Structure 1
Amino acid sequence: MPTPTSEGQGDLCLTNVTKRFGDFTAVDDLSLTIPQGSFFALLGASGCGKTTTLRMVAGLERPTAGTISIGEEDITEAKPYARPVNTVFQNYALFPHMTVLDNVAFGLKRRKVADATKTAKEGLELVELGHLAGRKPAQLSGGQQQRVALARALVNHPAVLLLDEPLGALDLKLRRQMQLELKKIQEEVGLTFVHVTHDQEEAMTMADTIAVMNAGVIEQLGHPTELYERPASTFVANFLGQSNLLAGEISDRVGGDLVVQVGGHKLALPGDRSTRQDGKVWLGVRPEKLRIGLAGGADGAGRNHLDGVVLDASFTGVSTQYLVRLAWGQAITVVAQNDGSALLRDGDQVQVSWVPQHGFALDAAQDAFAGAQRVGDDDTPVPALGGAR
């Protein structure tokens, strides 16, 4: 495959980008810099603006306001074919009457690129499909077709490769395999990948940086670990995995820790893990950070403790998910790894505990249900088990 030229290389920058469709604002004053060579994910639910953002970068939608550039090149008004950008779609869009090799070489031949066939073969080798060059798309599995579409995009050496829910049509096992494959390929070719997805696990597995989008704006941007461990809003806390949110109030400070009153209990939280230092908060803790045992049992010092009763126990193999009702009636979720211990039963009196450093606190003025999963025909918001009630 040919070496990329310097033309069109550099960071992808969106500056004050807005997109309106009539009275509806799909993307609202978005400013974002995606470093060259990074694997970047736009994560959010349907309608959050992530796909519209991708389409504006690709040139398939024109911004209502703002600018888009790659390096020193302003591409805001450029035609799609004139941009150093390629897109891999969920449906792959392969030509069914052509061989795999001809599909990959198609764009190169149209542009009269020298050694188009040789370059296409190198692209297929990159995605480990060189041995299938003579087959038609219908003779390939979904994962193989996805890799052909990826090779077709990569042989053009775009400055930015856009991935629009590329794994959505694959089954769970294959999707997880392809997540690792995509990350490996991105590291090998060193191009900027911008991946749009609604799948939190997919984004966290592959991306160096994730932007969580909601209602046309970015709720939080950062490394997957940062977003998961230190969510900046209830939306991010609920959307990215599960969170137990407990209504509390900061009542004191001891050294670097805050004292949070929750249901008559004093719970500790490091001050730097709270978005505010006084007043009412949602004290959050992830289900897998909790330890559960029978009430009255020995537990480590320096942990926060709450008593409750088991409402439900669901064994999933690698872990057991417990639904525990606390003394004031709120139900929280606890995920306990399967370490061979005896399972707790419905009705058991238990103690739930966690290390203060595993908690986080958010402004109680935020909606505790923001970002929670939605079920039902009426799209009624329902918190993930353990959400504030």
Structure 2
Amino acid sequence: MSLADGARGDLKLTGLHKRYPNGFVAVESLDLVIPQGSFFALLGPSGCGKTTTLRMVAGLEEATQGTIHIGEQDITYAKPYKRPVNTVFQNYALFPHLTIAENVAFGPKRRGAKDPIDRVKEILALTELTEQAGKKPAQLSGGQQQRVALARALINRPDVLLLDEPLGALDLKLRRAMQIELKRIQEEVGLTFVHVTHDQEEAMTMADTVAVMNKGRIEQMGAPYELYTNPRTTFVANFLGRSNLIKGTVVGREGTGDDAVVKVDMHGTVATIKASKVHTTSDEGWVGIRPEKVLIQPEGQSLDAPGAALSGAVVVDASYIGVSTDYTLRMPWGQEITCFEQNTGRRGGLIPVGTKVDVSWRPEFAFLLDSAQDVEAGLEED
């Protein structure tokens, strides 16, 4: 099934700017192209500008500057009801006195459709609500109500579907199930989905492309894998998951092309970093490594994949969380870093607190960020 046959093209935001009368700038000079038929996520903390951006696309906020196009159609100042856009909100806003089928049929009937019964059946089947058609919203679970809100938006066949924290009211288990469902539905209908969220896992699970926003600007945009494995700023490194950031000094550069690497001294240990993951021209930087890429062994035992090997660390905390154990390690220079070790059963138990350990990681997993950036950027928002 595809609802996108009449779609008008990419969603294009050009020089989009939103300043409120009190002087607060919510969105600043935003340039963005969201390809037709893609699942796109705007990710960031509260107040970063993501919801304001969504509301400007929907027509619920007026842009201070810039333009909004869907294909060749300029919708910058069009009335909300004249835009080929629909929005699904966190609170669903269902009509409690109407049945599920009547809720879904409301939009087409309002637009003059005489008998949208076939379209209603089609959308209810797509959203797995056929058996709930005769019920009232109060008789449904939170996840089912979320599907009704989605069905009510999809039946209008918008060029762009806007999702404003649509899973925020659901519990964790149901939210994860609905992430998979939303992605499935988007792929089936072929419409452009623009999803606003502060939940990193939600964005990475569903979106083809994620734009990480901070203070009205896009810090970095790309596929989830690229953002996570190769962050370009400390904010992205800290906000999208967790990172260990260690101060280092560049001491050399070797190789060319894909084989080019940078050598960085970290408190006496030299780490090798691929040039494609170096995002600073300074000789000082933050060496970054994700906790799940950190390998540890009690002092003197062989490491599985030696790379940048550091000795003299001490386990100061060990938290068993089932699938993994989270270790906090105090390094010889006093900094604490984190290691997530998957509980495969190979170790046979936890490394006790107070144990001296050696630490290592493979060179291809490290990245280097500009030392002028705040090492704690993104932490308070996480």
TM class by shorter-chain length? over 0.9
> Which residue is 2:371 aligned to?
364
> Which residue is 1:355 aligned to?
362
Please give the residue correspondences for 1:16-31 in structure 2 after superposition, counting only pairs within 5 Å: 16-22=15-21, 23-31=23-31
SS of structure 2 residue aligned to 1:241: coil
The Cα shift of 1:115 comes to 2.9
Q: In the superposition, relative to structure 1, how do residues 2 and 289 fare at CA in structure 2: closer, same or farther (>3 Å)?
A: closer
* Counterparts of 1:137 and 1:112, CA distance in 2: 24
Matched, 1:290 2:289: no
> Which residue is 2:215 aligned to?
215
Please give the residue correspondences for 1:1-389 in structure 2 after superposition, counting only pairs within 5 Å: 4=4, 6=6, 9-22=8-21, 23-255=23-255, 256-300=260-304, 303-307=307-311, 308-340=313-345, 341=347, 342-374=349-381
* Counterparts of 2:197 and 2:111, CA distance in 1: 31
Cα-to-partner distance string for 1:34-64 (whole Å, 9 max, x where unaligned): 0000000000000000000000000000100
SS of structure 1 residue aligned to 2:352: coil
* Counterparts of 1:5 and 1:215, CA distance in 2: 36
* Counterparts of 2:369 and 2:184, CA distance in 1: 36
1:250–1:277: 8 Å Cα contact kept in structure 2? no
* Counterparts of 1:125 and 1:300, CA distance in 2: 50
1:18–1:30: 8 Å Cα contact kept in structure 2? yes
The Cα shift of 1:4 comes to 4.7
The Cα shift of 1:257 comes to 1.8
* Counterparts of 2:378 and 2:359, CA distance in 1: 25
1:2–1:119: 8 Å Cα contact kept in structure 2? no
1:258–1:277: 8 Å Cα contact kept in structure 2? no
SS of structure 2 residue aligned to 1:304: coil
- Counterpart AA for 2:284: K
Matched residue count: 374
Cα-to-partner distance string for 1:191-222 (whole Å, 9 max, x where unaligned): 00000000000000000000000000000000
- Counterpart AA for 2:52: T
> Which residue is 1:380 aligned to?
none
The Cα shift of 1:112 comes to 1.3
2:15–2:65: 8 Å Cα contact kept in structure 1? yes
Q: In the superposition, relative to structure 1, how do residues 301 and 139 fare at CA in structure 2: closer, same or farther (>3 Å)?
A: closer
* Counterparts of 2:220 and 2:128, CA distance in 1: 36
- Counterpart AA for 1:246: I
* Counterparts of 1:296 and 1:54, CA distance in 2: 54
Cα-to-partner distance string for 1:115-150 (whole Å, 9 max, x where unaligned): 312211211111011111000000000000000000
SS of structure 1 residue aligned to 2:250: strand
The Cα shift of 1:363 comes to 0.5
Structure 1: stretches of 5+ with no match in the other structure:
375-383, 385-389
User: Percent identity over the alignment?
Assistant: 61
2:305–2:362: 8 Å Cα contact kept in structure 1? no
2:305–2:360: 8 Å Cα contact kept in structure 1? no
Q: In the superposition, relative to structure 1, how do residues 320 and 71 fare at CA in structure 2: closer, same or farther (>3 Å)?
A: same
Moved more, 174-183 or 106-115: 106-115
Cα-to-partner distance string for 1:225-246 (whole Å, 9 max, x where unaligned): 0100000100000000000000
The Cα shift of 1:3 comes to 5.1
* Counterparts of 2:189 and 2:115, CA distance in 1: 20
**TM-score, length-scaled by structure 1:** 0.94
Q: In the superposition, relative to structure 1, how do residues 317 and 2 fare at CA in structure 2: closer, same or farther (>3 Å)?
A: closer
* Counterparts of 1:296 and 1:309, CA distance in 2: 13
Moved more, 336-345 or 315-324: 336-345
* Counterparts of 1:224 and 1:301, CA distance in 2: 25
Q: In the superposition, relative to structure 1, how do residues 277 and 3 fare at CA in structure 2: closer, same or farther (>3 Å)?
A: closer
4+ aligned runs moved over 6 Å, structure 1: none
Cα-to-partner distance string for 1:6-52 (whole Å, 9 max, x where unaligned): 3x510000000000112000000101000000000000000000000
